[in-house]
A and B are shown apart, each in its own frame.
Chain A
């Protein structure tokens, strides 16, 4: 979706503020939100693409005005309600009021912690040969899906060069809407700064994205 989360190239957000000696968490609740997100994801309540899509679906003024972990918290809560794991009434009450919905991988316990310390696997076996190879000129399609996508707006319609082939990966656009993994070839595609930002761009700048094959066409 064309949301405010897709902010590459936008102006006006100001100076980067670096916090000296930043702690890992600023408050206890931030750490609990992170842990709940990881635990419920690992238990099979949702996949990472779905969780991103719920944060992107927050109203733009909300997305931009709240802290990072508050965004996680609101996204997590909306998602768990929408998927029927918890009820709005339960959130309001702060207690369970009805039966649980079965989790794909069952209750998350201390024994499960070790496996979430390594990132999940997203590589899959190819279903079809790759359409592109390193060196090919490709155009990022001018598409505007209403649902989750990982094709940023700032490259759409622009021509770049395939630099690397990463094999076949879970396709976020499908996984986010629970339409299955629909694995697709993934490539690093490099764009010149001037191609994306025009003649005034820094001439030494190159930008790459990792693009799934359905985002690309021959140029």
Chain B
């Protein structure tokens, strides 16, 4: 988290330090007014940095690939199904898992803001929250996939889920061929964040990690 690691943004150093000062000023005001304990902010950041991330979603997907009963339960009520997995962080209500098949590919977007299944995938990447993806995913999903360097057969139906309410969507990608005897742990390593958003596919067996 260095202040110099920001090549992606169109901000120069002066704006970064200006933002630093402004954010510090707001935090000081909120703390002096007694609204919050700054130590609680540290704890929130730490919790996000250590507890949430695509590894949670990957466990769920790998389990669904190996356990047909769990997969049925997941597609029926993902919140309830995920709650049965002790090692995955707790999830909020109205998590919906949607299954990719040879006939249908699912892709998730939030055109209005940045809704994303934090508990399953962590905080969303910058591109998910930015205008190019939010504007195009609902109109030109194949063009979007091209930007990610992937493509689908032209007859495959594409279903885009715009997260306009407090429902959250997790894509259940197709299990790669050649993994029939694999353990859940090994399978989880193939599940990428983008494959659970629908902008990518799982890694292939033998591909570099």
Interface residues of B: mostly helix, strand, loop or mixed? mixed
Q: Closest A residue to B154 by CB, please name it.
A: A204
Interface residues of B (CB under 8 A from A): 1-3, 5-6, 8-9, 11, 16, 19-20, 22-30, 32-37, 39-45, 47-49, 51-52, 89-94, 109, 111-114, 118-119, 122-123, 125-127, 129-142, 144, 147-148, 154-168
Is A40 touching B126 in the complex (CB atoms < 8 A)?
no
Asked whether A28 and B162 contact (CB < 8 A) given A7-B135, A13-B136, the answer is no
Return chain A residues, CB-CB under 8 Å to B24: 29, 32, 94
Q: Which of A196-215 contact B (CB under 8 A)?
A: 196-197, 201-202, 204-212
Is B51 touching A117 in the complex (CB atoms < 8 A)?
yes
Distance, CA A26 to CA B167, complexed state (A): 28
Distance, CA A53 to CA B109, complexed state (A): 19
- B40 CB, nearest partner CB in chain A, Å: 5
Distance, CA A217 to CA B32, complexed state (A): 50
Return chain A residues, CB-CB under 8 Å to B164: 150-152, 209-211
- A144 CB, nearest partner CB in chain B, Å: 15
The proximity string for A residues 92-120 relative to B, scoring 1 for CB distances below 8 Å and 0 otherwise, is 01111000100100011110110011111
Asked whether A208 and B37 contact (CB < 8 A) given A8-B138, A22-B126, A31-B45, the answer is no
Return chain B residues, CB-CB under 8 Å to A86: 26, 29-30, 33
Asked whether A16 and B147 contact (CB < 8 A) given A8-B135, A121-B93, A186-B167, the answer is yes
Say whether A133 faces chain B, with CB atoms less than 8 Å apart: no
Q: Which of A127-170 contact B (CB under 8 A)?
A: 150-152, 154, 166, 169-170
Q: Which of A167-198 contact B (CB under 8 A)?
A: 169-170, 172, 186, 188, 190, 193, 196-197
Is A14 touching B132 in the complex (CB atoms < 8 A)?
yes
Distance, CA A119 to CA B136, complexed state (A): 27
Asked whether A68 and B160 contact (CB < 8 A) given A8-B139, A9-B135, A39-B36, the answer is no
